[in-house]
């Protein structure tokens, strides 16, 4: 599967089981990047995508249903590193309070692309794309 995740500068994901931040430009960029491919996410994540006009979003708490060509937007779910083909990180330009982190040290990937853009509520967001080695 291809995993999409939002992280702060310290790889923080969540604080008190809630997302650190969100940005409507990130959501738009995700949908443009996946270009109509299936996008799996849980109900919690879907709340921020509910106003987007996207028929390819599949609300499913079990990400194991995703194939290697599908994308999974991950906020609170656990993902086994060995199941990831490609990792797309949207990096906030800040450090937020966090009590759950994504461990990038365990991943054997090459950074293959970066894109910097201005978000709606963030001055700078960097999209980092990592490919499995």
Sheet hosting strand 86-91, strand order edge to edge: 57-59, 39-41, 71-74, 2-7, 86-91, 125-132, 109-117
Least confident of 6-15, 46-55, 65-74, 117-126: 46-55
* CA distance linking residue 29 with residue 26, whole number of Å: 5
% of the chain beyond a pLDDT of 90: 77
What residues make up the domain containing 57? 2-132
The rounded mean pLDDT for the chain is 93
CATH number of the domain within which 25 lies: 3.40.430.10
Count of the separate structural domains present in the chain: 1
Six token digits for residue 83: 């199941």
| 15-52 residue pLDDT tens | 999 999 999 999 999 999 999 999 999 999 999 998 88
pLDDT, position 22: 94
**Residue 15, SS3?**
strand
pLDDT greater than 80 at residue 106: no
* CA distance linking residue 132 with residue 108, whole number of Å: 6
* CA distance linking residue 18 with residue 2, whole number of Å: 22
pLDDT greater than 80 at residue 10: yes
């Amino acid at each position: 599967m291809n995993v999409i995740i939002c992280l702060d500068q310290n790889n923080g994901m969540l604080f008190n089981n809630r997302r650190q931040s969100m940005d409507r430009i990130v959501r738009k960029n995700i949908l443009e990047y996946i270009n109509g491919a299936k996008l799996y996410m849980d109900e919690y994540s879907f709340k921020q995508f509910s106003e987007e006009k996207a028929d390819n979003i599949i609300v499913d708490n079990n990400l194991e249903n995703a194939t290697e060509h599908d994308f999974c937007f991950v906020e609170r779910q656990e993902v086994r590193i060995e199941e990831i083909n490609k990792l797309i990180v949207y990096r906030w330009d800040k450090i937020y309070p966090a009590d759950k982190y994504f461990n990038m040290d365990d991943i054997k990937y090459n950074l293959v692309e970066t894109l910097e853009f201005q978000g709606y509520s963030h001055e700078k967001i960097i999209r980092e794309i990592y490919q499995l080695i």
